[in-house]
Structure 1
Amino acid sequence: MTTKRKPWRKNLYENSDYEDNYTDPSFLKDLKTNLHVRFFTLGEAIQVLHTLTYAISTDTIFSMTFFVMVLNLVFCDYGLSVAMVSKAISLNAAIFGSICLASRLPTSYHAFVLLVESAITLAFSYCL
């Protein structure tokens, strides 16, 4: 005598006839991935970065940029095997300095060009 199992349903407590790791072919049919994800372009982000530091004085921005660029030079990998070398800290400091400088440019277009050029230059210089 063969017993017919109840059809599988997407409900945790009604599928006791099936193994724990059973996956029905209809399981993923209603799956919706990245339903509310909105993709932003770099141009949209530049408008925020351009006005990011209006409340901070220009002298503070320039001195902060100087210190993070020195930090970039200190942590840069010059081919020496010392404990101070960190490519991540060096790259992040340089990008942060570029963002600080971009916040003082007159238009969003100028900030966009500076950030794209600095990102390309810095990212490719660390890949070599």
Structure 2
Amino acid sequence: MIYQVIVVLVAFAVSQGQPSNYGGGGPVYASGPIPYNFNYAVNDAYSGTNFGQNEKSDGSNVWGSYTVALPDGRKQQVDYTADHGRGFVAKVSYSGKAQHPQVYGPAITFPQNGGGYH
């Protein structure tokens, strides 16, 4: 008798443990897609890091661009659009001329884990 009660309780607990939208995909938003706009930029002269991005959306379509300073001295810019019909479409362009040093110096290294920065 006790065995049957335990089996019933375990079956009940398992059935209650499943979410109500189990297998139903992602979250459902009552208000639909939300338009947004964002941008950021990073420019660190010490390490040579220079990149940024801006993007906006009307809730259905996305427009944006990002730039990256390449190691050879050129600047890469990617302008893009994205929607449910055409997908992600990018136009890539470069400015500047690739430059390669004749003499290479020592590698730039940064301290790892406990290198004096706290």
The TM-score bracket by the shorter chain reads: under 0.3
Which structure is higher in helix share?
A: 1
Q: Which has the higher contact order (CA 8 A, sep 6+)?
A: 1
The two structures have a TM-score, normalised by structure 1, of: 0.25
The two structures have a TM-score, normalised by structure 2, of: 0.26
Which structure is higher in strand share?
A: 2
